[in-house]
Amino acid sequence: MAITLTLDYNNMMKEFIGEKEGFSPADFTAIEPELKAAFDTVQQNRGKGMQGWMDIIYDQENGIVQDIKETAAKIREKFEYFVVLGIGGSALGPTAVFQSLCHLHYNDLPKEKRGGPKFYVEDNVDPERMVALLDVIEPEKTCFNVITKSGATSETMAQYLVISEILKAKLGDKFADNIIATTDAKRGNLVKLVKEHGFKSFTILDGVGGRFSELSPVGLLPAAVLGIDISELLAGARAMDEHCKEADYKKNMGLMLAALQHVAMARGKNIGVMMPYTDSLKYIADWYAQLWAESLGKSVHKDGTPAFVGQTPVKSLGVTDQHSQVQLYAEGPFDKVVTFLAVKNYRKTVVIPEGCQDIPDIHFLSGHTMNELITAEQKATAYALTVANRLNYTITLEEVNAHSVGELLYLFEMQTAFAGELLNIDTYNQPGVENGKNATYALLGKSGYEAKKAELDSAPALRAEYII
Does 413 participate in catalysis according to the annotation? Answer: no
Query: Is the preceding omega at residue 351 within 30 degrees of 0, hence cis?
Result: no
pLDDT of residue 441: 86
Q: What are the pLDDT digits (tens) for 269-300?
A: 999 999 999 999 999 999 999 999 999 999 99
Surface-to-core class of residue 352, CB atoms within 10 Å of its CB (0-12 exposed, 13-18 middle, 19+ buried):
middle
Say what the pLDDT of residue 231 is.
96
Residue of 422, 50, 48, 466 lying closest to 249 (CA atoms): 422
pLDDT score of 152: 85
Phi-psi label, residue 133: left if phi above 0, alpha if psi -120 to 50, beta otherwise: alpha
* Given 323, 331, 348, 465, the catalytic residue: 323
d(CA 92, CA 100): 12
Residue 284 vs residues 138, 270, 403: alpha-carbon distances, Å? 29, 20, 15
Out of 122, 155, 214, 294, pick the active-site residue: 294
Pairing of strands 179-183, 271-276: unpaired
Strand partners, 298: 309
Do residues 85 and 146 touch, judged by C-beta distance below 8 A?
yes
- Is 294 catalytic? The answer is yes
So what's the pLDDT on residue 59? 86
> Which residues, other chains included, contact 95 with Cβ-Cβ below 8 Å and sequence gap of 6+?
121, 123, 283, 286, 287
437 is an active site residue = yes
Per-residue pLDDT of the chain (468 residues; tens, 9 = 90+): 789 999 999 999 999 999 999 999 999 999 999 999 999 999 999 999 999 999 999 988 668 999 999 999 999 999 999 999 999 999 999 999 999 999 999 999 999 999 999 999 999 999 999 999 999 999 999 999 999 998 888 999 999 999 999 999 999 999 999 999 999 988 889 999 999 999 999 999 989 999 999 999 999 999 999 999 999 999 999 999 999 999 999 999 999 999 999 999 999 999 999 999 999 999 999 999 999 999 999 999 999 999 999 999 999 999 999 999 999 999 999 999 999 999 999 999 999 999 999 999 999 999 999 999 999 999 999 999 999 999 999 999 999 999 999 999 999 999 999 999 999 999 999 988 888 888 888 888 999 999 999 999 999 999 999 999
Which residue among the candidates 69, 141, 301, 437 is catalytic per the annotation?
Answer: 437
Side-chain-facing half-sphere of 298: CA atoms under 13 Å = 23
Q: So what's the pLDDT on residue 150?
A: 87
What's the pLDDT at 196?
Answer: 95
Instruction: Tell me the pTM.
Output: 0.96
